[in-house]
Amino acid sequence: MSNISIYVARESGLHSLNPITKLVLTLCLLICGFALPSLWASYLILVLIIIPLAAWGKVLNRLTQLVLRISWPLVLSVFIIQTLFWGQGTALFEIGPLAPKFEGAVFAFTSTGRILFIMADFILFSLTTRPDTLMISLKQAGMPSGLAYIIVTTLQLVPRFITKANTILDAQRSRGMETQGNLFVRARALLPLVMPLVIGSLVEVEERAIAIEARAFNSNRKETSLLEIPDTPFQGIVRWSLVIIVILSIAIRFIWLS
């Protein structure tokens, strides 16, 4: 795994797809998950589409690890807050002042599905798509260089922060700073970690700006690349089919609400 992305190199059909095809698929799944009216929509997309795609791409274990590691605090907090503080509703049971509501549990169940499916959707895309090939594909498709750079940098943001934070943490530990222990010890170690992280990130932004200017990033001339990104007419048909499916799902949503 690269230190600037969570991409995992595999020999799979999903990896071999054009990055734009995978990006369109990711965005279409996201829109369909919110557009379809059923509270089971997110779970169905997760189980019937995302998990089989992850198995096809040979990254199912890594996807499961990342999604569970990131989502469990959010899921736990959603269930606690929504069930206990829902307000008026049908109490599932009562233990002293605690009375979880059925309506809150249903809302938390729906929200959990969306949290899991959104994370799995974007993490699967990041696990199977190299940032450099994505940027080249977007620019070859006619997207402005600035917008393509923003999209790719966003995908690299969290891995870069994690790598930099771990480096700073190891450096502070080598200087004898205590980073493990009770809450007071952890809070005291927070400032020596955050300040170098913020300052280092600002310095990195300036270095990146200088680097892209040195490579004629804003030049009006057409760029060329030694890396050829494969694409096929069939993938173009698939991309347009996904767009049509999104339009139909939005139409179903409006018909359901009318």
Q: What is the pLDDT along the chain (258 residues), one digit of tens a residue?
A: 444 568 888 999 999 999 999 999 999 999 988 888 777 888 999 999 999 999 999 999 999 998 988 888 888 888 888 888 777 777 777 777 777 888 888 888 888 989 899 999 999 998 999 888 888 888 777 777 777 777 777 766 666 666 777 777 777 777 776 666 666 666 666 666 777 777 776 777 667 667 666 666 666 666 666 677 878 899 999 999 999 999 998 888 888 766
Main-chain phi, psi angles of 219, to 5 degrees: -70, 145
Distance CA 243, CA 235 (A): 13
For 33, counting Cβ atoms within 10 Å of its Cβ (0-12 exposed, 13-18 middle, 19+ buried), the class is buried
Distance CA 131, CA 126 (A): 8
How far is residue 98 from each of residues 66, 81, 90, measured CA to CA in Å? 33, 12, 13
The model's pTM:
0.76
Distance CA 119, CA 162 (A): 17
Contact 118, 22 (CB under 8 A): no
